[in-house]
Chain A
Amino acid sequence: MKSTKILGIILSALVLFGCSEDFLNKTKLGALTTESFFVAEGDANQAVIAAYSDLKDYRYTWTIWAFGDVLSDDATYSGSDDDVQAYALMESYNYPADNGRVLGRYQILYRGINKANQAIDGISKMDESLFHTYNKNRLLGEALFLRAYYYHELVRAYGDVPLMTKTPTIADKTLARTPASEVYAQIEKDLIEAAGYLPKVSEIVKAKEAGRITRGAANAMLSRVYLYEKKYVECKAASLEVFKDGYALMPNYADVFTLAGEHCSESILEIDHYNSSTQSAATTNNGNFHVLMMLPYGTTYGYGINQPRQSLADAFDAAGDVVRKEATLLTPTDLQAWESAADFAKLARNRTGYYNQKYYLKPAERSTQIRNNPVNIRLIRLSEVYLNYAEACVKGSPVDNTTAREYLNKVKTRAKIAPDNTSTGDALFDVIINERRLELAMEGHRFWDMIRTGKAATAFASKGTFNPATDGLLPIPQAEIDNSGGIITQNPM
């Protein structure tokens, strides 16, 4: 009896202290952790897709036109009285640091950078032998391009910005702004490396992969970035690399902006959108939100925002440019032909007489989901690279007027306007810049081009006083200055 009791105590002690530590290791169910990721090539591919995803976030794409077009002399914000009011300070170059667009762009671009960094860090550590379906270097090249693209979108808007080239840890929260020159150096480095990894457009099957980044996109981006840095020799070299890849201007300018013209022969990079029926929330949609914004107020839906101004129409007229004016500016006459009589009768809030035709869809093409229209956003086209090249030829040394005019005239000829065979030097440069305005109108270039070339104060005089010392950069979002405890400083305002 006694011995059994003692045995009982021993046994109960065993039960008491017998559980293993393993019991407490509970990993997340139904979701991956960073520790369990980047072990198969599919992981690498999905990490890169995530890095792409911020490209289509409406909070970033909103600023492509809300800054690129609306802050220039080409367009005005328009929309309801509230919309006009809310954007009035921006348009008069008194940028408020708490403006939602100023924050949205900054926030989303950094999210994209973080995702690209995660992909680069993860893929770099993976063994080459894991890749069969996908190509490791190509995936790396795409992530590097995206990081560079996002940084360029940041640096041209905000100037000095913190440079993160790895997955951040909490210790990085005290980072300060990095000089823009260092950011540019990183962008160049990433793009050059990416160009070495990426396939040519002719090497991909468009049906499966159109929309993924190619070698041409990396070189075209380099060509653009070098102009911002005034590195004309390098710009020319990069542009020539693009020309090797078999891109060709479409014969008919207007076709480029139709649904059928997506990923056409002159398209170098687009943000893809389609008409999806399930994903309709603003951040999870995969359609183009901005079609809703830019459709004339009174049509099926539409806010009538981002209206081209008369000065843009005048610029087309001055150049005798009928083709591109017709393809860019949507007028009530057009609408009368395309909209139902009932909708046409409801049109209102037309503040300038023009709408942006490059984002316009005829009623039959429109999605029933307001945020899900299928228009791709054209990010880089061959004609931009032609004009980059022409600009580098005329601004570089030695000045090469002939080649500059040759590439300028490729663009002019396609638009069915007379070639320029005489201009030289600064006059030629002005012609090229004016050609950019007409060729790339309402595609989000004008504001940046005018600042880059020092022409903003004159060009934008009709909208407000543009002070190049303070208005060439947007403010750092106030929320960022607050979040960083003042380590991140404000631009001169």
Chain B
Amino acid sequence: MKITNKRKSITELTARVLVLFLFCFLGIHAFAQSKAISLSGTVTDQKGQALIGVNVVATGTSSGTITDTDGKWSLSVPTTATELKFSYIGYTDKAISIGSSRVINVQLTESTEQIDEIVVIGYGSVRKSDLTGAVSSVKADAIARQPVANVAQALQGLATGVSVTSNSGSPGGSVSIRIRGIGTINDANPLYVVDGMPTSNVSFLNGNDIQNIEVLKDASATAIYGSRGANGVILITTKHGVIGKDQIEFSSYWGTQQINTDLGLLNGQQWYDIQTEINKTRATPINLANADPSISTNWLKEVSQKAFMQNYGLSFSGGDEKSTYNLSLNYLYQDGTIKKTNYERINSRFNFERKVNKAISVGTNFNIATSDRDKILEGSNTVGIMNSAIKLEPVVPVKNADGTWGYSKYIDYPNPVAAIEYTNSNEKNLNFVGNLYAKVNLAKGLVFKTLLGINFNRYDSYDFDPTYFVSNAQQNTINRVYRGYEKTDNIMTENTLNYNGNFGKHSINAVIGYTAEQTRYEDIYATKQNTPNNTAEMQYLSAAQLASSATATGTAYESALLSYLGRVNYSYDDRYLATTTFRTDGSSRFGKSNRYGYFPSFALAWKFTNESFVKNLGLDWLDSGKVRLGWGQVGNQNIDNYMFQNLLTSSAQYAYLYGIPETLYQGIVAVAMGNADVKWETTESTNIGIDLSLLRGRLNFSGEYYNKTTKDMLLIEPIPYFLGFETGPMTNVGSVQNKGWEFSFEWRDKIGKNFGYNIGGNITTIKNEVLSLGTGKAISGGAIRNGNATYTSVGNPIGSFWGYKTDGLINTAEEYADVRTRQPKADYGDVIFVNNNKDEVLSDLDKTVIGSPIPDFIYGFNLGAEYKGIDCSISFEGSYGNEIFNAMRYFTYSLADVTNKSVDVLDYYSATNTDGTMPRLNGNDQNDNNRISDRYIEDGSYLRLKNLQIGYTLPVSLTKKFYVTKFRFFVSGQNLMTFTKYSGADPEVGQISSTNYLSRGVDIGTYPQAKTITGGINITF
């Protein structure tokens, strides 16, 4: 009953909005068209060349058009019109009075000043020069030119302060974005807002649809998103039609992708020789007669493939005085570089806006995307495909001569080629994001906007384990169908009142608003065994026959967010700027006592170059300059629902049997402690910045210092066992600090008439430190084969690598005598583990920080050039000072076991090689040389040629006969070169899984990023 009431409240709200609409339609007089006159003319540049696509608008009316390919235009304007305005990007606007002449020819002059861009800041926009917070902007072309499925991936290296890491190179794999460090051990992903719709994921977006991306970084910018602002906000605006510029655009590319399969592992003979040596010390030697050293299987090569990808996009856009539209359709298909992985996506977008009358505009932005993804097992440190491909012995053939599968005779690790063969793992997604909105001009400068949005997601998963036999350890005798369905429905409404006004030297831009949002989630998972055969047609539950094997599970939740927000931007004399933001969020995720959070921010900026005393200095190299100072508090509500409640469980574990014969009865009980007082994580941040424009707009520079501290970080409080609960309550006790500097610059100039070029770069430093974990103990994470790779403890970065330090190998009698006191079973050639705490014994207490996945700095730089029709762009991105925990070394650096090894192992210590860099071969390793230590740690720094593209646009004079305004073809390379010392497949190592936040930088066999080469065309009609 209660639920229905709640449902009603949002329906009621919708009804109220609709009533308001109706009122506005009825109450405001329709716009009346009066008599018109016809005008025409030509627009040229200083050299008399025709300018194509110049905007021509009759000032104060809705009449407008653009020039054609000959620079010609014609327009009918109301008789009341007195002036025409001509505008063109890169040229100074020109206004011409309408006289008696009906033909108006205009010459535009190139502008020397940079255009003051409009920057979207959430519930409004400001001129870039009026920004007071820390915001990075990324333009459409930088995104569109990258052949990547996920827009988030394309952001890599492009925006200051934004660290982008793919968790997997698998097509359709997840991406982690961290803005200005990592503020919490919980979910630190930013909030995405696409055309005003908050969402946690942007995999549904087509890169070609994006107009621009703004990244809000400091609290003064993100406070308008309150409880979701702590991890930063990425605002994405999609393309809208341009008035008077109807066009059809077709674009396509095709390409191939591949990965590096040479990881420097042993060949068959080398493996055989090493094992022969290890056998000498094994208690029970392995029978090497079972291995054929002439077989040298490169498992990585066997599981990988040269993969194809293709993309086709078609869009229609344009508009007239009353309406603009942008319709697009895009198809993407990408095979993975590991066999049996691929990703297919179709998306369709519909953006439309129409002026209903003088006062009201209505519009919509809708996106529908469907995707279909085949995937393989990743993230398993025992049977993951990449993991197996690295560790399986090279002497195992993929298949034996008789056609049966090869398998290890010594250890129960799977044959990864066979494992792929028997993998049937598919997921399909249907996503529907869209909104309807209306804007009403209530009075001069006062605009009311109301928006109703939905974000519906349907996710289906299909898995099938066929019956097969590879070996005793890798077989399945009864097949099983798995089927899952997840449904997320999000509905929201947003109502804002914007005001813009100028009073002499005072200027105000303000917004107040109210938003409400509700999400409902439900899933169903079912499995059943024993279908008649393994064919694709039988991989459905209805074919499975073993009734007793059927299982079904499901979960559901609802959450809601109710918010009030406000912001005032005040400017005095275009010299002093002040912004204050306030948001209060009510969230259903918290108990009544802590339901509302309050998130304020303040920012000041000073455009010192507008001061007369600066102007009087006559610094003609300095165009404009601004310093900024901001402070604010924002929240993170990326936590589970219902943590304030004591939840009961009826899971199978809590059942009991009685009766003869026994019958199972299900019990219900609370096994986790709730905490009614759980509340938001709060991040307080301070930002100081400077923006400079120099040398007549050719050089732009920004520098910032940030310091953000997360307080009340949510941790599961450890509880003693005698309380009898399995998990402790979530409590707000932790604190984390991130601070650093950001610098970015861009130089843009022309040499001569035809050669234009630009150079840009950015760098961000990050210092991350856990300040407190309350009464809680350090948190282990990143589970690997022999323990945990990461350890989050006070005074160290989040998710630091933790283990023993080593000090080479025992080589001298002194070392032997000294080390044996702490490592009693050590011998010459064994690893010396550092007795870090200087006590008598070597124990867990000697473990310490041995590396950090968080880089000292991340950077990116790009070059672009244009000469006549040729364009070229190059972008690099990199990371410096981070380490990678190469967990594969548990196998490849082991000097005792049978798995494949790194060639480094060949330099093992022995009586004849006392300078060996690797420990002695020892099948009975009593010293535990393989324990977690800095032997697993590698420098994770890298510099990557992210994208290189060369294009050529045919001259318009050639193409216009075919009604083509632009015909461009290009070749492009993604990840062409990577400079790194890391020995693994790829230095871009994300998390083991998208929600395993403390496993960053731990490589248990990461699906590597592909090197992609594509070619394609863009045609505009």
Contact = CB atoms under 8 A, between A and B. Distances in A.
A170 B649 CA distance: 19
A15 interface: yes
B719 A28 contact: no
Interface of A: 1, 4-5, 7-9, 11-12, 14-35, 37, 43, 45-53, 55-57, 103, 106-107, 110-115, 117-118, 161-162, 164, 168, 170, 172-173, 175, 206-212, 262-263, 272-274, 276-279, 283-284, 286, 477, 479-480, 482-485, 487-488
B642 A483 contact: no
B648 A115 contact: no
A17 B726 contact: no
Given A23-B560, A25-B6, A33 B657 contact: no
A84 B758 CA distance: 72
B588 A8 contact: no
Contacts of A31: 647-650
Nearest to B493: A15
A278 B553 CA distance: 13
B817 interface: no
8 contacts: A17-B514, A23-B562, A24-B562, A26-B560, A170-B673, A170-B719, A175-B720, A488-B722
A164 B514 contact: no
Given A25-B588, A29-B557, A272-B658, A161 B722 contact: yes
Interface stretch (B12-20, B365-373, B890-898, B927-935): B12-20
Contacts of B443: 5
Contacts of A484: 720, 722
A46 B562 contact: no
A283 B654 CA distance: 9
Interface stretch (B22-30, B269-277, B1001-1009): B22-30
Given A11-B19, A37-B648, A211-B658, 8 more contacts: A11-B20, A15-B450, A16-B497, A31-B648, A31-B650, A110-B723, A173-B723, A211-B657
B505 interface: no
B interface majority secondary structure? mixed
Contacts of A55: 656
A56 B656 contact: yes
B869 interface: no
A27 B648 CA distance: 12
Given A16-B514, A23-B6, A24-B595, A274 B722 contact: no
B719 A8 contact: no
A8 B27 CA distance: 9
Given A4-B28, A211-B659, A32 B648 contact: yes
B90 interface: no
B559 A26 contact: yes
Contacts of B548: 277-278
Interface of B: 2, 5-6, 9-10, 13, 16-17, 19-20, 23-24, 27-29, 440, 442-443, 448, 450, 495, 497, 512-514, 516, 518, 522, 548-549, 551, 554-560, 562, 564, 586-588, 595, 641-642, 645-662, 664-671, 673-675, 717-726, 728-729, 775, 777
Nearest to A212: B658
B487 to A, nearest CB: 13
Given A27-B2, A33-B647, A16 B495 contact: yes
Contact of B16 (A1, A15, A26, A210): A15
Nearest to B669: A50
B513 A162 contact: no
A480 B16 contact: no
Contact of B675 (A17, A34, A170): A170
A262 B661 CA distance: 10
Contacts of B717: 170
A1 B29 contact: yes
Given A7-B27, A28-B647, A277-B548, A480 B722 contact: yes
A283 B653 contact: yes
Contact of B658 (A8, A209, A279): A209
A480 B666 contact: no
Contacts of B28: 1, 4
Given A8-B440, A24-B586, A170-B729, A479 B514 contact: no
A262 B660 contact: yes
A162 B722 contact: yes
Contact of A53 (B6, B29, B586, B654): B654
Nearest to A162: B722
- State the 5 A-B residue pairs at the shortest beta-carbon distance, nearest first: A114-B724, A50-B667, A211-B658, A49-B667, A50-B669
B7 to A, nearest CB: 10
A18 B664 CA distance: 51
Contacts of B20: 8, 11-12, 15
A26 B518 CA distance: 10
A487 B723 CA distance: 14
B2 to A, nearest CB: 7
Contacts of A482: 777
Nearest to B644: A33
A20 to B, nearest CB: 5
Contact of B549 (A47, A211, A277): A277
Contacts of B657: 56, 211, 272-274, 286
A23 B796 CA distance: 41
Contacts of B668: 32, 37, 43, 46-47, 49-50
Given A7-B27, A26-B6, A286 B722 contact: no
Contacts of B29: 1
B589 to A, nearest CB: 8
Nearest to B775: A485
A262 B662 CA distance: 11
Contacts of B645: 27-28, 33-35
A12 B495 contact: yes
A191 to B, nearest CB: 20
Contacts of B648: 31-34, 37
Contacts of A208: 658-659
B497 A272 contact: no
Contacts of A35: 645-646
Contacts of B723: 110, 114, 164, 168, 172-173
Nearest to B731: A170
A51 B721 contact: no
A103 B440 CA distance: 68
Contacts of A23: 6, 9-10, 516, 518, 560, 562
B347 to A, nearest CB: 31
A7 B556 CA distance: 42
Nearest to A263: B660
A433 B249 CA distance: 95
Contacts of A479: 721
A278 B349 CA distance: 46
Contacts of A18: 13, 16
Given A9-B442, A211-B659, A284-B651, A26 B718 contact: no
Given A8-B27, A34-B648, A206 B560 contact: no
Given A14-B16, A161-B722, A22 B661 contact: no
B660 A210 contact: yes
A111 B660 contact: no
Given A5-B442, A8-B448, A206 B656 contact: no
Nearest to B7: A23
Nearest to A2: B443
Contacts of B669: 47, 50-51, 115, 118
Nearest to A283: B653
Contacts of A284: 651-653
B31 to A, nearest CB: 13
A152 to B, nearest CB: 16
A157 B687 CA distance: 59
Nearest to B557: A29
B112 to A, nearest CB: 43
B666 to A, nearest CB: 7
Contacts of A262: 660
Contacts of A56: 656-657
B664 A276 contact: yes
Nearest to B665: A49
